[in-house]
Amino acid sequence: LPLLLLSLLPRLLLSRNMRGDCGPPPEIPNATPELDGKTSFPQQSFVVYSCNKDYQKIPGKQDTLICLENGQWSSPDTFCNKSCNAPTRVIFASLKKKYIYFSYFPIGSTVEYECRPGYRRVPSLSDTSTCLDNLEWSTVAEFCERESCPHPGELQNGNIDITTDILFGSEIFFSCNTGYKLIGVDSAFCYFTGSTLDWTDPLPECAEIHCPDPPPIKNGEMRGGSKTYVYRHTVTYTCAIGFVLVGNSSIHCTLNGDQGEWSGPAPQCTEILCPDPPPIKNGEMQGESKTYVYRHTVTYTCATGFVLVGNSSIYCTLNGDQGEWSGPAPQCTGQYYVLVALSMLGLVHWVVLA
């Protein structure tokens, strides 16, 4: 039986070749055929190979075999080799254009970098990286340094906080002095525009914060008035004569966020009152009222048979912020006692009985 099979083998192979079936595709080093479950490969059919892990296709090499008319596969070629993955990406530089579309980087191959916009070359440092034996790229030296933005200028009535520097990618912050508010952005970045470095935003402005007109006061006046009222501006109130100030005599312009407001309300001028005028015995008073204000005058008169001793009128006057009468009420005295009194003073030498 074995001899019979051996004798039939050439006929079986010839029969297969006549049908044009190439049989299983050959092995290719470091590559695997993509069969998709196929077991029969007639003429003109083809098989594509893919590289095994850690291997890359060598550019220009054929990765496809074709079943020829003679029942043989086209000549296989080794097209997979060890290769590093894509070169290391770095912030400060990019691959030169000629390497962008490369996918095959065999051990020992070298790529070159160039500085990104916003960076400048450091001549003393290497700008290359090499695929090493362990299929890792050698470290890319930081051969580019950031360029500087132009100085942002001076912020009038404010400050520019430059925390580190004004190099490419840096951020600066703006703030205003007390009493001013920021009009515009509060920060800016140094960025690359066109072919130069510049700031993303122009300098803001620091506008002076104003308070509204101070509140008015009745029966008084305000000192320190102005067309505009800025931070810390102070106005002082005084009252007209006969009135007393209730509250703080001065208020100042202060801040509430980026708005101006007064430190408090205006004081009030309250009218100063005198107490009820003193009464008089044996007489009467004219000019009575429910209240007695500054300069209010009352006049006294005596009943018949009595003589007024003292000032006939007194008026409400001021003692600081208190009201008081200009003097005591007069007295109404009988005529006999008046003459005796005058005699004692040497003014008369006779007495008339009342």
The tokens for 65 are 């075999």
Say how far residue 287 (Cα) sits from the centre of its chain.
Answer: 69
Question: CA 198 to CA 313: how far, in whole Å?
Answer: 87
Average pLDDT over residues 183-210: 94
CB-neighbour burial class of residue 241 (10 A; exposed 0-12, middle 13-18, buried 19+): exposed
Question: CA 269 to CA 244: how far, in whole Å?
Answer: 5
Say how far residue 213 (Cα) sits from the centre of its chain.
Answer: 29
Backbone angle region of 247, left / alpha / beta, with phi > 0 → left and psi within -120 to 50 → alpha: left
pLDDT at position 163: 79
49 contacts 26 by C-beta, under 8 angstroms: no
User: 218-258 pLDDT, tens per residue?
Assistant: 999 999 999 999 999 999 999 999 999 999 999 999 999 99
Buried b (16+ CB within 10 A) or exposed e, 296-314: bebebebeeebbbeeeeeb
Torsion of CA 163, 167, 171, 173, to 10 degrees: 50
pLDDT at position 345: 52
In angstroms, the Cα distances linking 340 to 282, 302, 304, 306 are 19, 19, 19, 14
The tokens for 108 are 């020992």
Which residue do the tokens 């509140």 mark? 215
Instruction: For the chain, give the percent of residues with pLDDT over 90.
Output: 74
pLDDT at position 9: 42
Residue 278 has pLDDT above 90, yes or no: yes
pTM: 0.62
Question: CA 129 to CA 84: how far, in whole Å?
Answer: 11
pLDDT at position 164: 77
pLDDT band at 103 (very low <50, low <70, confident <90, very high): confident
pLDDT at position 354: 34
pLDDT at position 14: 43
Domains of the chain: 2-81 (2.10.70.10), 93-146 (2.10.70.10), 158-208 (2.10.70.10), 210-271 (2.10.70.10), 273-344 (2.10.70.10)
Backbone angle region of 143, left / alpha / beta, with phi > 0 → left and psi within -120 to 50 → alpha: alpha
pLDDT at position 352: 39
79 contacts 28 by C-beta, under 8 angstroms: yes
- The mean pLDDT of the chain is 88
H/E stretch holding 12 reads: helix 2-19
Say how far residue 207 (Cα) sits from the centre of its chain.
Answer: 16
Question: CA 281 to CA 276: how far, in whole Å?
Answer: 15
pLDDT at position 348: 47
Phi, psi at 38, each rounded to 5°: -75, 145
Residue 5 has pLDDT above 80, yes or no: no
Residue 31 has pLDDT above 60, yes or no: yes
Residues with Cβ within 8 Å of residue 225, at least 6 apart in sequence? 214, 235
pLDDT at position 38: 87
